[in-house]
Amino acid sequence: MKKLIVFIIVSIPVILIAQDNQPSTRKEKKEARKEKINQLIKQEEEGALIYQKQSLWGFALNTDGWNIINEHGKYKSITKTNLWWLELGEHKDPKQEKLSKSAYNIPGLSLGNPFVYGKENNFYYLKLGFGSQYLIGGKGNKNGVAVSAIYGGGLSLGMLKPYYIQVVDPNTGNVTDIKYNNNDSTFLNPDIITGASSFGKGFSEIKYVPGIHLRSGLRFDYGRYNEVLSALEVGLNLEYYSEKMPIMVQNDPHHAFLNAYIKIEFGKRK
């Protein structure tokens, strides 16, 4: 019992000292961080490159779809970074709308997958691009926020995957997968559509169409003096393909596609 009392008496001051040191430790870390940023700013003002390269992943919502990007950069000067990127995404027709089987009154049939009425193809794309990032604001800014212009372009590969739907034969009740063929009234008959086919249907029939693209945007880089990169980017994409790219049966296909985007980006600097 005496040993327990002695242990408690000895331990209490140690615990109190440790607790007193915690705020001090946090304060020291904060001061060290501030000092490090000040040193990086000073080095940059003297013309030194504080990082050599960067890499990031980003996800964007476009006015006509979505994309994901993997980008790499090599710092050439304080204000300029050479970039290259790979981007995968999808274009959607602004008029397309997903419907469910419940929108049609066909007795005796179970609900199928939601489908897009009149859709001819899924339009995916893969881009390889080269460009630059140019610092236009934020130099010496202690909060670490930098504003940069992003510009460049490169090659695009359009991928048209036939869009399949399931239809029922009114006479036999059999359900089959079909895609659109020219002047195909069956494909556009809502009375016999039960839903969309499985996602994998049509991948073996993809048509590849070459093209080019341009990219222009503004990147707001938060934590500019951190090894961890986190940024928000807004801008415009322009693509042009060697053939017209049909998405919806009832809409005219186009060679060119222009969209605006907002992108969240995460990565690292070295």
List, for residues 131-181, the tens digit of each pLDDT value: 999 999 875 555 668 899 999 999 999 999 999 999 998 888 889 999 998
Q: Are residues 76 and 40 in the same domain?
A: no
pLDDT > 70? residue 185: yes
Amino acid at position 11, single letter: S
Q: Are residues 161 and 31 in the same domain?
A: no
Q: Are residues 78 and 63 in the same domain?
A: yes
CA pair distance 146, 234, nearest whole angstrom: 14
CA pair distance 42, 211, nearest whole angstrom: 45
Contact 161, 202 (CB under 8 A): yes
CATH at residue 104:
2.40.160.20
Q: How far is CA 31 from CA 28, 39, 43, 173, 262, in A?
A: 5, 12, 18, 75, 35
Burial of 142 (0-12, 13-18, 19+ CB in 10 A): exposed
Q: Are residues 11 and 120 in the same domain?
A: no
| Confidence (pTM) | 0.80
pLDDT > 80? residue 74: yes
Number of structural domains (the chain) is: 2
Q: How confident is the model at residue 39 (pLDDT cuts 50, 70, 90)?
A: low
Alpha helix segments (H runs only) across 46-135: none
Domain extent for 29: 1-48
Q: How confident is the model at residue 6 (pLDDT cuts 50, 70, 90)?
A: very low
pLDDT of amino acid 56 = 96
Q: How confident is the model at residue 116 (pLDDT cuts 50, 70, 90)?
A: very high
Q: How confident is the model at residue 93 (pLDDT cuts 50, 70, 90)?
A: very high
Strand intervals (E) in the chain: 53-62, 65-75, 80-91, 98-99, 115-116, 121-137, 146-162, 165-168, 175-178, 193-196, 207-222, 228-245, 254-269
Q: Are residues 159 and 257 in the same domain?
A: yes
Sequence length of the chain is 270
CA pair distance 174, 68, nearest whole angstrom: 39
Q: Are residues 114 and 194 in the same domain?
A: yes
DSSP string, 51-71: -SEEEEEEEEEETTEEEEEEE
